[in-house]
Amino acid sequence: MYRDNSLVPKEAIRMAALGALTQGSRGYSDIASEVRQFSARIVGPSLDLLGTSIELLKFEGLIEPVTEESRDEDAELVLTESGRAALVDYLRAPVRPGASDLNKLVIAIKLRFIDVLEPSDRAEQLDHLKHMYEGERVRLDDLASHGEWMDGLMADWLAMERDQVNRRIAWCETLLNRI
Beta-strand pair 76-79/63-65: antiparallel
C-alpha to C-alpha distance for 55 and 41, rounded to whole angstroms: 24
For residue 28, how many other CB atoms are within 10 A of its CB? 21
CATH class, 118-179 region: mainly alpha
Under 8 Å between Cβ of 17 and 31: yes
Under 8 Å between Cβ of 35 and 20: yes
C-alpha to C-alpha distance for 165 and 99, rounded to whole angstroms: 10
The reported pLDDT for the residue numbered 45 is: 77
pTM exceeds cut of 0.85: yes
* Phi and psi at residue 113, to the nearest 5°: -110, 20
For residue 128, how many other CB atoms are within 10 A of its CB? 16
Q: Candidates 1.20.950.20, 3.40.190.10, 2.60.40.10, 1.10.10.10; correct CATH number of 1-97? A: 1.10.10.10
Under 8 Å between Cβ of 31 and 73: no
Per-residue pLDDT of the chain (179 residues; tens, 9 = 90+): 566 666 887 888 999 999 999 989 999 889 988 998 999 899 887 766 665 577 889 899 999 999 876 556 678 999 999 999 999 999 999 988 776 888 999 999 999 999 999 999 999 999 999 999 999 999 999 999 999 999 999 999 999 999 999 999 999 999 999 98
C-alpha to C-alpha distance for 131 and 143, rounded to whole angstroms: 18
Q: What are the sequence ranges of the domains in the chain?
A: 1-97, 118-179
Under 8 Å between Cβ of 8 and 101: no
Q: Roughly what angle, to the nearest 10 degrees, separates helices 101-112 and 28-43?
A: 130
Type of residue at 171: W
